[in-house]
């Protein structure tokens, strides 16, 4: 996965209140933020949209206080993590698990058959991820949507690298055990 | 033959997050251990499955609700009314703030108080607690039988004093915006979530649950990461932090070191810390380094170097002399524990 490039000039322009620069920043990060929230909330598009808006409003409020892109990136991931975990806690009383929301997966250049298999596999993976404990869920989403290093994840999650490794270990093994029937499909990825 | 399993490191190995030496050790182990090999196959399968996740496009409508602030700013600049608008806003804010006796935080859950203004005290009794919005950067729960005072709230700092009792704080601001003064130290928020309790004698106990907190009092910062505790004592400032999964013996020894002055006793307790220490306890060892005498510092260096070897340019003599450059260099390695 290629990470978007936001240079220091764009960041400085954002800090001056330049709306075009902020739009660039938004474009660079919005799909990843939205994807993490969408998967975290089991395909709930309304909640994912709310979370994405919340994250960018906070980003806009505090943008003037960042010294560099690295600080901004760490903070952005931390805000996404907190927004998801906070919303999860708040909704716990009202939401029942096991009712996944319908969503449309993006088209890709594959045969119809391949596309169908890919969609089925991805839907199964999303379902298993949605059933994991929130801390495991957010760890695996940060890793596979944002391709963060363990150091970056530790900063975003507010834990040690060892804890990151441990959470990913558990998440990987849950996926493998619950989706062992997809072994052949995964081998062909 | 006793073999140490490597299951906990297998995801890090798969993601190439380990050093060449560590990778080699794991590969060697995997050749001879069927249990770890099976676990590794599971992790590889789990990782391959997770790799099928595709980025979804965020709906365009999100943007229409987000960038109101920059659009307004640009509009006013373009028509040349920025100064006028700013002045009008400042006057409006000044009038409003004057009307409400200055900036304040929203309070819920406490009878008779809905706002906390600068200079005011909020006190809970044994049967009440309060929830407070820390401006727009976080929230605070004031537990029963506690007293706080709001000292400052402005864009570059939000500060309270916790005179006694317990608070739970959660913030989503950049580091160092939220500070809690206690009788024995100041807690500076570098991250997200923590619990701070002040006893009647002015001592306090900090437990960080997410992110990082720095404790300060007339000296270098003490860093307390998620999963760690730190005690502070009136007149002595922050103690030595330790992780909650450290052994009971280590925790007791660290607390003893912080509370006694007798060099012999401190050395005896340090021997317990060293004997009980594992890699995460480098947090405690690192903070003990500048607090002990040279002999003790040598013992700390030797253990710390086993747990988290220093870069080649860092020497034992340099660390014993507390050479700032060498401490900074090694800290980059040690601080991976809390970054």
Mutate to test the interface with A, among B7, B11, B60, B333 (most CBs of A within 10 A): B11
Question: Burial of B3 by CB count in 10 Å (0-12 exposed, 13-18 middle, 19+ buried)?
Answer: exposed
Work out the minimum CA distance from B151 to partner chain A, whole angstroms.
22
The reply to whether B222 and B277 lie within a common domain is: no
* Domain shared by B115 and B148, yes or no: yes
Answer whether A165 sits within 8 Å of B11, measured CB to CB.
yes
Residues B15 and B139 placed together within one structural domain of the fold: no
Same domain, B107 and B17: no
If pLDDT is split at 50, 70 and 90, which confidence band does B95 have?
A: very low
Q: Pick from B33, B48, B63: which residue ends a domain?
A: B48
- Give the chain A residue whose CA is nearest to the CA of B12: A165
Mark yes or no for CB contact A171/B52 under 8 Å. no
The predicted structure's pLDDT at residue B82: 46
Quick check: B99 pLDDT over 50? no
CA distance A81 to chain B (A): 10
Are B22 and B110 in a shared domain? no
Model pLDDT for residues A168-186, shown as the tens digit of each residue: 999 999 999 999 888 877 6
In this complex, is the C-beta atom of A125 within 8 Å of any C-beta atom belonging to chain B?
yes
At residue B131, the pLDDT reads: 94
Q: Using CA atoms, how far apart are residues A37 and A57, in angstroms rounded to an integer?
A: 15
Q: What is the pLDDT of residue B3?
A: 61
B57 and A108: CB-CB below 8 Å? no
Q: How far apart are CA A49 and CA B270, in angstroms?
A: 53
Q: Check pLDDT > 70 for residue B320.
A: yes
Nearest CA in chain B to A2: B55
pLDDT tens readout for residues B238-261 = 999 999 889 999 999 999 999 998
Higher per-residue pLDDT: A151 or A105:
A151
The answer to the question of residue B257 being in a domain is yes
What are the Cα distances from residue A99, in Å, to A44, A86, B5, B43, B285?
Answer: 10, 20, 39, 27, 49
Nearest CA in chain B to A80: B172
Minimal C-alpha gap between B145 and chain A (Å): 26
CATH number, domain of B116, equals 2.60.120.1440
| Res B39: pLDDT | 92
* B140 and B231 assigned to the same domain: yes
Q: Which of B70, B89, B134 to mutate to test the interface with A (most CBs of A within 10 A)?
A: B70
CA atoms of B163 and B144, how far apart (whole Å) = 13
Best interface-test mutation with B: which of A20, A21, A90, A186 has the largest number of B CBs within 10 A?
Answer: A186
Over residues A46-100, the pLDDT tens digits come to 889 989 988 888 787 777 767 666 667 778 888 888 888 878 776 654 443 333 4
Give me the pLDDT at residue B268, please.
Answer: 95
Based on the domain organization, do B120 and B230 belong to the same domain?
yes
Containing domain of residue B281, as a range? 244-339
Residue B281: what pLDDT?
93
Are B186 and B157 a contacting pair, CB within 8 Å? no
Structure confidence by residue, pLDDT tens digits, A13-31: 887 777 788 888 888 888 9
pLDDT in tens, A120-153: 889 999 999 999 999 999 999 999 988 888 988 8
Record: contact A17-B12, CB cut-off 8 A:
no
Residue B56 lies in a domain: no
Task: Establish if B319 belongs to a structural domain.
Answer: yes
Label residue B66 by pLDDT band (50, 70, 90). low
pLDDT interval class at A188 (50, 70, 90): low
Exposure string over B222-243, b if 16+ CB within 10 A, otherwise e: bbbbbbbbbbbbbeebbbbbbb
d(CA B214, CA B46): 37
Element at A158 (helix H, strand E): none
The tally of domains found in chain B comes to: 3
| One domain, residues B108 and B215 | yes
Q: Which of A2-11, A68-77, B215-224 has the lowest mean pLDDT?
A: A2-11
- Final residue of a structural domain among B239, B261, B294: B239
Kindly state whether residue B96 falls inside one of the protein's structural domains: no
Kindly state whether residue B89 falls inside one of the protein's structural domains: no
With respect to residue B74, please indicate whether it lies within any of the assigned structural domains: no
The secondary structure of chain B, three-state, reads: CCCCCCHHHHHHHHCCCCCHHHHHHHHHHHHHCHHHHHHHHHHHHHHHHHCCCCCCCCCCHHHHHCCHHHHHHHHHHHHCCHHHHHHHHHHHHHHHHHHCCCCEEEEECCCCCCEEECCCEEECCCCCCEEEEECCCEEEEECCCCEEEEEEEECCEEEEEEEEEEEEEEECCCCCCEEEECCCCEEEECCCEEEEEECCCCCEEEEEEECEEEEECCCCCEEEECCEEEEEECCCEECCCEECCCCHHHHHHHHHHHHCCCHHHHHHHHHHHHHHCCHHHHHHHHHHHHHCCHHHHHHHHHHHHHHCCCCCCCCHHHHHCCCHHHHHHHHHHHHHHCC
Whether residue B15 sits in one domain with residue B117: no
Judgement on whether residues B118 and B209 belong to the same structural domain of the protein: yes
Q: Mean pLDDT score of chain B, rounded to an integer?
A: 85
pTM of the predicted model, to two decimals? Answer: 0.53
In this structure, chain B runs to a length of 339
Query: Per-residue pLDDT for B57 more than 70?
Result: yes
The percentage of residues in chain B with a pLDDT greater than 90, rounded to a whole number, is 56
> Is there a domain that residue B294 lies in?
yes
Clarify whether residues B120 and B227 are in a common domain. yes
Domains, chain A, in order of start with CATH, read: 8-187 (1.10.1740.10)
Q: For B48-67, what is the mean pLDDT?
A: 80
Please tell me whether residues B195 and B121 are part of one structural domain. yes
Q: What is the pLDDT of residue A70?
A: 65
ipTM above 0.85, yes or no: no
Which of the listed residues B186, B210, B239 is the one where a domain comes to its end?
A: B239
> Does B14 have pLDDT greater than 70?
yes
Q: How confident is the model at residue A105 (pLDDT cuts 50, 70, 90)?
A: very low
Specify if B94 maps to a domain: no
Residue A164, token pair as written in the block? 């990151």
For chain B, say whether A131 makes contact (Cβ under 8 Å): no
Nearest to A34 among B51, B58, B136 (CB): B58
């Amino acid at each position: 996965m290629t990470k978007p490039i936001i240079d220091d000039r764009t960041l400085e322009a954002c800090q001056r209140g330049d709306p075009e620069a902020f739009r660039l920043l938004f474009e660079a990060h919005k799909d990843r933020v939205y994807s993490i929230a969408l998967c975290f909330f089991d395909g709930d598009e309304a909640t994912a949209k709310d979370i994405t808006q919340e994250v960018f409003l906070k980003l806009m409020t505090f943008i003037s206080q960042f010294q560099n892109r690295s600080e901004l990136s760490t903070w952005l991931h931390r805000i996404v993590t907190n927004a998801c975990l906070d919303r999860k806690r708040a909704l716990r009383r009202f939401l029942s698990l096991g009712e996944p929301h319908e969503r449309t997966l993006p088209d890709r250049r594959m045969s119809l058959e391949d596309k169908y298999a890919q969609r089925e596999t991805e839907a199964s993976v999303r379902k298993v991820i949605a059933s994991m404990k929130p801390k495991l869920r957010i760890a695996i989403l940060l890793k596979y949507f944002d391709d963060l290093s363990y150091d970056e994840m530790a900063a975003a999650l507010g834990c040690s690298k060892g804890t990151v490794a441990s959470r990913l270990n558990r998440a990987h093994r849950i996926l493998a055990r619950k989706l062992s029937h997809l072994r052949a499909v995964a081998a062909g990825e | 033959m006793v073999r140490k399993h490597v299951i906990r490191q297998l995801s890090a190995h798969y993601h190439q997050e380990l050093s060449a030496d560590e990778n080699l050790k794991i590969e060697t182990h995997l050749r001879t251990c069927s249990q770890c090999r099976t676990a590794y196959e599971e992790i590889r399968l789990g990782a391959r499955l997770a790799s099928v996740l595709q980025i979804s496009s965020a709906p365009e409508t999100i943007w229409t609700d987000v960038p109101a602030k920059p659009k307004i700013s640009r509009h006013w600049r373009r028509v040349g009314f920025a100064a006028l608008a700013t002045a009008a806003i400042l006057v409006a804010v000044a009038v409003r703030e004057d009307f409400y006796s200055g900036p304040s935080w929203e309070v819920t859950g406490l009878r008779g108080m809905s706002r906390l203004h600068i200079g005011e005290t909020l006190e809970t009794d044994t049967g009440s607690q309060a929830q407070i919005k820390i401006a727009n950067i976080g929230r605070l729960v004031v537990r029963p039988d506690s007293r706080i005072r709001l000292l400052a709230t402005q864009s570059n700092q939000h500060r309270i004093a916790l005179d006694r009792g317990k608070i739970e704080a959660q913030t989503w601001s950049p580091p160092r915006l939220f500070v809690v003064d206690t009788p024995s130290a100041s807690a500076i928020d570098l991250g997200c979530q923590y619990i701070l309790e002040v006893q009647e004698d002015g001592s306090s106990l900090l437990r960080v649950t997410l992110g990082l907190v720095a404790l300060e009092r007339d000296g270098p910062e003490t860093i307390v990461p998620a999963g760690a505790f730190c005690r502070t004592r009136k007149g002595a400032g922050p103690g030595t932090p330790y992780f909650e999964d450290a052994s009971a013996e280590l925790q007791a020894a660290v607390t003893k070191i912080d509370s006694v002055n007798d060099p012999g006793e401190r050395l005896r307790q340090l021997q317990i810390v060293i004997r009980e220490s594992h890699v995460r306890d480098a947090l405690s060892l690192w903070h003990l380094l500048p607090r002990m005498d040279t002999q003790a510092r040598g013992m700390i260096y030797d253990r710390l170097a086993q747990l988290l070897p220093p870069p080649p340019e860092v020497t034992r003599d340099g660390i014993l002399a507390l050479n700032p450059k060498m401490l900074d260099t090694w800290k980059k390695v040690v601080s991976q524990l809390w970054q």
